[in-house]
Amino acid sequence: MSLLLIPAIDLKDGQCVRLRQGDLNDATIFSGNPGEQAAHWVAQGARRIHIVDLNGAVAGKPKNESAIKAIIQSAGPDVPVQVGGGIRDLDTIERFLDDGASFVVIGTAAVKNPGLLKDACAAFPGQIIVSIDAKDGKVATDGWSKLSGHEVIDLAQKFEDDGVSAVLYTDIGRDGMMTGVNLDATVRLAQSVSIPIIASGGIAGMQDIKDLAAVESEGIMGAILGRALYEGKLNLEQAQAYADAAGAADAD
């Protein structure tokens, strides 16, 4: 296996933006056409696209559905799309999957409404990813505005029992800051569960890809790429080629 590099498309008011540390008031607009942006990443060799409905995460229900549909359509049938942000019930999950999403990412609701996650994993096996956003080892909810008392590893182990297909782990102190990925915490988490981990937050350039590729065998299946891609600090095609070569070398 090789590390899967997943471009993120963060949606605010129908536009592609990047935030710093999850602050909706600190948004940089990168594109007014989310579908076009998705097509661009696919042309660069993206094998999966990650969508976050930022307005939805704060409102507790999806707010950018037309943009999400445009992205799924642009990505085409061969590039899976994972959608998160404000997903709080089974009906919404079903709607996104019906719209063509391959995976649905549940964050806040998984912490606040554990029954929902269990039901979702039973209803849509293999299609539910749980998102754990953390600061200093504690889990944050509600668009990162609230810190809970939960420890990351305890929660991940519980979600593993529920049947989630992967854990998306974000260090929110680093997100959008391009200060480098929190490798130690990501590896610790991967070692504590048997489900794959997707790393997120702070990936700044090629060194982070090299660092993650080197520990991929610990159970890190992929990485979400945001600001570094949008600001041209990282070339998706080159980065994925490196990850593939590293994965092939490990397999030998």
pLDDT in tens, the chain (252 residues): 899 999 999 999 999 998 887 788 888 999 999 999 999 999 999 999 999 999 998 899 999 999 999 999 999 999 999 999 999 999 999 999 999 999 999 988 898 898 999 999 999 999 999 999 888 778 887 766 677 778 899 999 999 999 999 999 988 877 667 678 889 999 999 999 999 999 998 899 999 999 999 999 999 999 999 999 999 999 999 999 999 999 999 887
Query: How far apart are the C-alpha atoms of 241 and 244, rounded to whole Å?
Result: 5
- By annotation, the residues acting in catalysis are 10, 133
| Pairing mode of beta strands 138-141, 128-135 | antiparallel
The angle formed by the CA atoms of residues 122, 127 and 130, to the nearest 5 degrees, is 90
Cβ–Cβ under 8 Å, residues 4 and 47: yes
**241 vs 235: CA distance, rounded Å:** 10
Identify the H or E element spanning 190: helix 183-192
